[in-house]
Structure 1
């Protein structure tokens, strides 16, 4: 059955276009009948990049998990397992900041899967739906097949994912783009903060003002201040 799902995933991708990360995401979106999806890639547990988002809602949800350090993406990546929430509002205690953003974006259920190539973790696939309710067994099996394909396509488009050494597992958000660390360094020097405290201040400001983390970072890099 796994081979059947894997072959079916490849057929849907081929029917959609060339085998790229973006094309595979579109095929997955249509095949699994979800409203939007995002792929986040992680390098050595120290660098997180957006692999692909099918629309602005998915991009906002991926960023929300980076800002908050919580959500199905992080859990699936850390646990190396499928993570599902059939009714996101009921998961508020588990992921308070992420759930707030998800509800604002009109999403009521989510499923995340790690992107694995052997023992190598390269990121996570996040599937979002506007309707509440559990995903079917067919959707889960097919999503696992797409996750295998997406992991390979991610390595093809981002070969540096193979060359960075993974760090030890740790809680919270798994990595930030380099610009985030630069901005945190600016705040740390200006306000005599530790790097972790400066990073926390960046995240708190982005969450409080309901803006993408990289928008907050851009302001710090330009003006050397959050204000």
Structure 2
């Protein structure tokens, strides 16, 4: 049985709905990784969380959105597998992301783009608390899961198919509308250009080890960073 068929069999063997969450759970168990995060990209720019298997994955995906660096961003922009055997040795590669990973006790990561045909809609991160790379068979199975995750993400978020495309670029691949709303609030309060307000909000989230969405919610509710 090939990897793609075997992956589908694992996903459906538990019964229930076939979903992004179900595929993520099956993938984590099959590849013997500790957590998994999926980030999705709309129009080549707007990125949002597709799924996180636990709080560690949620914090790491948010860290990549906040800092604009990390394996998920690189896998999406470069359209290829990205891996790091020991994040303790990867500070020069991803200085902010490696700090976030250390806080979550994550030591190694493999990221793959989520693509179907010529369409790339995001990336998936496979994270482990131990150093080391996935084996060749694990990477092959991971590629099969990535293709399935892409299809299930499109099923759950069909607007990914119809959004206008923009060329990809390094750095944060855009932000959800709520982030821009919060930046607008800060820009008006402190008489800042919108980009400076956004940078201040990202810096605040990173400095306080806070998910960006939590900082955004606070700004929208209280109209202040503090």
Instruction: Determine if the TM-score, normalized by the shorter chain, exceeds 0.5.
Output: yes
Secondary structure in 2 matching 1:92: coil
| Residues in 2 aligned to 1:121 and 1:202: alpha-carbon distance in whole angstroms | 29
| Residues in 2 aligned to 1:117 and 1:151: alpha-carbon distance in whole angstroms | 7
Secondary structure in 2 matching 1:93: coil
Secondary structure in 1 matching 2:101: helix
| Residues in 2 aligned to 1:92 and 1:200: alpha-carbon distance in whole angstroms | 21
**Contact kept in structure 2, 1:180 and 1:217, CA below 8 Å:** yes
Aligned-pair CA distance for 1:96: 1.0
**Contact kept in structure 2, 1:61 and 1:101, CA below 8 Å:** yes
Counterpart position of 1:11: 9
Counterpart position of 2:24: 25
Counterpart position of 2:185: 186
Bigger drift between 54-63 and 193-202 goes to: 193-202
Aligned-pair CA distance for 1:91: 0.8
**Contact kept in structure 1, 2:186 and 2:197, CA below 8 Å:** yes
**Contact kept in structure 2, 1:13 and 1:24, CA below 8 Å:** yes
Counterpart position of 1:204: 203
**Contact kept in structure 1, 2:116 and 2:147, CA below 8 Å:** yes
Counterpart position of 2:216: 217
Bigger drift between 116-125 and 143-152 goes to: 116-125
Counterpart position of 1:97: 96
Bigger drift between 116-125 and 44-53 goes to: 44-53
Counterpart position of 1:62: 61
Aligned-pair CA distance for 1:198: 1.2
**Contact kept in structure 2, 1:114 and 1:123, CA below 8 Å:** yes
Identify unmatched segments of 5+ residues in structure 1: none
**Contact kept in structure 2, 1:40 and 1:48, CA below 8 Å:** yes
| Residues in 2 aligned to 1:169 and 1:29: alpha-carbon distance in whole angstroms | 28
Count, aligned residues: 225
Counterpart position of 1:51: 50
**Contact kept in structure 1, 2:106 and 2:127, CA below 8 Å:** yes
Secondary structure in 1 matching 2:210: coil
**Contact kept in structure 1, 2:81 and 2:112, CA below 8 Å:** yes
Runs of 4+ in structure 1 deviating by more than 2 angstroms, as ranges, are none
Q: Does 1:81 align with 2:85?
A: no
Counterpart position of 2:151: 152
| Residues in 1 aligned to 2:170 and 2:189: alpha-carbon distance in whole angstroms | 27
Aligned-pair CA distance for 1:218: 0.8
Q: Deviations over 1:95-144 (max 9, x none)?
A: 11110111111110000001011111111110000110111001110000
| Residues in 1 aligned to 2:98 and 2:222: alpha-carbon distance in whole angstroms | 31
Aligned-pair CA distance for 1:204: 0.2
**Contact kept in structure 2, 1:16 and 1:26, CA below 8 Å:** no
Secondary structure in 1 matching 2:2: helix
| Residues in 1 aligned to 2:164 and 2:118: alpha-carbon distance in whole angstroms | 12
